Amino acid sequence: MFFVGAQMIRPSLDAPLNLLHGWIFAIPLMTILLCHEFGHYLLARRHRVEVSPPYFIPFPNLIGTMGAFISIRSPLHNRRMLLDIGAAGPLAGFIPSVIALAFGFYFSTISPMVTDKIVLVFGDSLLILALQYLIIGPIPEGFAVWIHPVGLAGWVGLFVTMLNLLPIGQLDGGHVAYALVGHRQWWVGPIALAGLVVLGLVVSPWWWILLGFLVVVFPIVVIAVRILYRVKVPLSTLWKGKILRHPAIPDEEPLDPRRRFIGWLCLAIFVLCFIPLPFQVLN
């Protein structure tokens, strides 16, 4: 089951002030992204790691941004630091995303599926289905949930959390995976990427579109960050194997039970937030 998130309407030059209505979506989304990055920032400062404040990346796409990031300017010495800093962002962004999605479901409307207009349909995860059932209840056949903008911001927050928790390279999931299993993350990353490719072949071409989009946009983001924010992102990251493999950490001491629980909790959140078919366009 999928919930209909927004009608794809051609923008009108006669009513440019309608863009101001976007604050209902933009403010909760920016809050979610800010919570995510400040989770990383505060834990980095707690470990006395030199780190930049959060930077937002504006980009002309469906949600108006490529997200946000922080720049860690000193090395991480052990897996404990890696787990704490890597897991703090997804956990901090997950909570407001769930709150926003629950709020959005509460104020959403249920109406018959539209058949004479182009609509954008947002996919479900296990967590989204559970929240929808608890707050709205069963959806009758032929009907759909027209999500409130705040709920759409929560959906984007959960989708971003899921993408960040992919156990690849220096994504948050890569940090968490390396903290949990050490050098074994070096084969977990390629397997995860191969899984996404298979998913694109079997389930939906949207995964191919997403991967292609990331391949095209990643170099643009790296160069833009270097120019606009004067952050020293190495251009070598564009072609070296660091994209899938997390850099080695000097201290390979295993995690304590509490941190291992947090690491596996992040994995559980990834499973709960995973959306097999993120988008559909129905006519």
pLDDT tens, residue by residue, 142-178: 788 888 889 999 999 999 999 899 888 788 988 898 8
Q: Would 270 be classed as within a structural domain?
A: yes
Give mean pLDDT, residues 114-130: 82
- For residue 225, the model assigns a pLDDT of 58
On whether the CB atoms of residues 99 and 152 are closer than 8 A, the answer is: no
- For residue 239, the model assigns a pLDDT of 44
Total count of domains within the chain: 1
Q: Would 193 be classed as within a structural domain?
A: yes
Give mean pLDDT, residues 189-217: 73
β partners of residue 7: 119
- Of the pLDDT bands very low, low, confident and very high (cuts 50, 70, 90), residue 69 is confident
- For residue 36, the model assigns a pLDDT of 94
Residue given tokens 């903290």 in the structure block: 179
Q: Would 16 be classed as within a structural domain?
A: no
Q: Would 13 be classed as within a structural domain?
A: no
Neighbouring C-beta atoms of residue 250, cutoff 10 Å:
9
Q: Where are the alpha helices (DSSP H) in 15-67?
A: 23-46
- Average the pLDDT over each of 123-127, 239-243, 275-279 and give the range with the smallest value: 239-243
Give mean pLDDT, residues 3-12: 43
Q: Would 148 be classed as within a structural domain?
A: yes
Q: Which residue has the higher pLDDT, 16 or 113?
A: 113
Give mean pLDDT, residues 63-79: 80
Q: Would 183 be classed as within a structural domain?
A: yes
Q: Would 17 be classed as within a structural domain?
A: no
Angstrom distance (rounded) from CA 18 to CA 11: 9
Does residue 3 carry a pLDDT above 90? no
Beta strands in 82-218 (DSSP E): 109-112, 119-122, 143-146
Name the strand (E) or helix (H) holding 188.
Answer: helix 185-202
Angstrom distance (rounded) from CA 208 to CA 206: 5
Per DSSP, 241 falls in state G
Determine the structural domain holding residue 163 and report its residue range.
3-8+22-282
- The tens digit of pLDDT for each residue in 222-265 reads 666 566 555 555 555 544 445 667 777 877 778 889 999 999 99
The two tokens of residue 133 are 């059932």
Q: Would 107 be classed as within a structural domain?
A: yes
